[in-house]
């Protein structure tokens, strides 16, 4: 192979690498535009056309990266969820042995500080995964499983009443509790207005962090009692 061929191959590789980087940057720009719109309004009011305009792209270009709105927002959710697990486990890595009450309060507070993630969580199973190609769903599920196992291991280290293997199941239950707490404590604007006008409905006016802390604590105390009796 001559030096000329080598130079040509290097140039082709550089163009491919540059194009790949450009595609990744554009994909991230689309996701950022979608998240910015989601931060300001309801998921169902956001169209792919509006995302394209916010990202300064033609609508047809948007569909080269994401086939459906659900696929786009699953990618947004996956990115936020992965970052959440990284930040959570970094915090857990620096913690010593914890009580159930301490862990419940910490976990609830850590989650509540990420309201956009909590809102996307409520859409994930019933909406985002429903109209998305299988490859994207599988990738998301594999990422979630990896992080559930990693976080579960940290919980087993920090909570002395957990048995080996309990951790991942606890993480999944807490995920379910977060979904329920978000739906109960963050009703639609219409329902919020109704509750504000009817004091007799005040039991439905729940504060997210305290309610979620209570739910997590109940589960952890139940695990503690069950493992003690077994």
Q: What are the structural domain ranges in the chain?
A: 1-65, 69-229
Q: pLDDT below 70 — which residues of the chain? A: 1-18, 230
Per-residue pLDDT, 20: 74
Return the pLDDT at 3.
46
Helices (H), 41-161: 48-54, 59-65, 69-93, 100-112, 115-123, 134-158
Contact between residue 79 and residue 41 where contact means Cβ atoms under 8 Å apart: no
Class of domain 69-229 as given by CATH: mainly alpha
Rounded CA separation 134/140 (Å): 10
* Topology alike, domains 1-65 and 69-229: no
Q: Alpha-carbon distance 221 to 127, whole Å?
A: 33
Residue 185, sorted as left (phi over 0), alpha (psi -120 to 50) or beta, turns out to be alpha
Predicted TM-score (pTM) of the model is: 0.87
CATH architecture of 1-65: Orthogonal Bundle (1.10)
């Amino acid at each position: 192979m001559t030096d000329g061929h080598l130079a040509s191959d290097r140039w082709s590789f550089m163009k491919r690498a540059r194009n790949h980087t450009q595609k990744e940057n554009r994909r991230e720009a689309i996701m950022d535009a979608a998240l910015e719109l989601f931060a300001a309004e309801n998921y169902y009011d956001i169209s792919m056309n509006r995302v394209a305009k916010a990202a300064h792209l033609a609508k047809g270009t948007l569909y080269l990266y994401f086939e459906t709105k659900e696929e786009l927002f699953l990618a947004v959710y996956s990115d936020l969820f992965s970052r959440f697990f990284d930040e959570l486990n970094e915090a857990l890595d620096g913690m010593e042995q914890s009580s159930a009450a301490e862990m419940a309060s910490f976990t609830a507070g850590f989650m509540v500080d990420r309201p956009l993630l909590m809102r996307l969580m409520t859409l994930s199973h019933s909406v985002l995964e429903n109209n998305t190609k299988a490859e994207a769903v599988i990738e998301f599920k594999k990422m979630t499983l990896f992080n559930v196992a990693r976080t579960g291991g940290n919980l087993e280290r920090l909570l002395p009443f957990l048995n080996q293997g309990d951790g991942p199941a606890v993480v999944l239950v807490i995920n379910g509790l977060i979904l329920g707490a978000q739906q109960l404590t963050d009703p639609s604007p219409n329902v919020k207005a109704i509750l504000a006008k009817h004091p007799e409905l005040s039991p439905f006016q729940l504060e997210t962090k305290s309610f979620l802390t209570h739910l997590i604590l109940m589960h952890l105390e139940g695990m503690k009692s069950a493992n003690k009796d077994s």
